[in-house]
Structure 1
């Protein structure tokens, strides 16, 4: 199984988890040449851009510590492009950037709202 397949599997886990809290899926795997968004969901009036991270173990570094500032900039850039392409104003629309960290077997899910 490729790394991309594993990532997609855990994005599905994250989507199922967040759906239990009433979030609705808008898009998955939105990609640009210089950025990507794993999952885009709606929570009432908020559009939420979600970075999903999976690690089998946290022995070497906490999964959240493995997200770089440059990676977060690429997610923000992709979000601005997505909003523009969908004719949604980034200035008048409530948006949030969340992280879903999935670790271990059986896995543990941490949902960090408004993480960056």
Structure 2
């Protein structure tokens, strides 16, 4: 990935994190990695563990940020979340969900709660 694309993705994560924190979510982990993949943000809303995938697309020509989360990507996120809950036992008994924060060319941020089932 080029440095400019990586910077845009990181900038998107910073914007998403700030937005979610303003909405009352608390950060548990950022860019949490395991052999199954990476979780952009792991947050807590009430007692619910929220796995947040942040998607940034500069242009919609190849599909928007939401469309980029296909079945294969969802399965990767689910597996990574399972590893997270195995390693971080204190969160294993909490309810959990998968959210997506999509950012694009416009300044609008689109937060989709419970974007897909895990």
Compute the TM-score of the two structures, normalised by the length of structure 2: 0.87
Shift of 1:89: 6.1
| Residue in structure 2 matching 1:4, options 6, 16, 32 | 6
| Residue in structure 2 matching 1:69, options 71, 74, 85 | 71
Partner of 2:50: 48
RMSD: 1.6
Shift of 1:5: 3.0
Partner of 2:103: 102
Q: State the 4+ residue runs in structure 1 displaced beyond 3 angstroms.
A: none
Shift of 1:35: 1.3
CA distance, structure 2, for counterparts of residue 8 and residue 32 of structure 1: 19
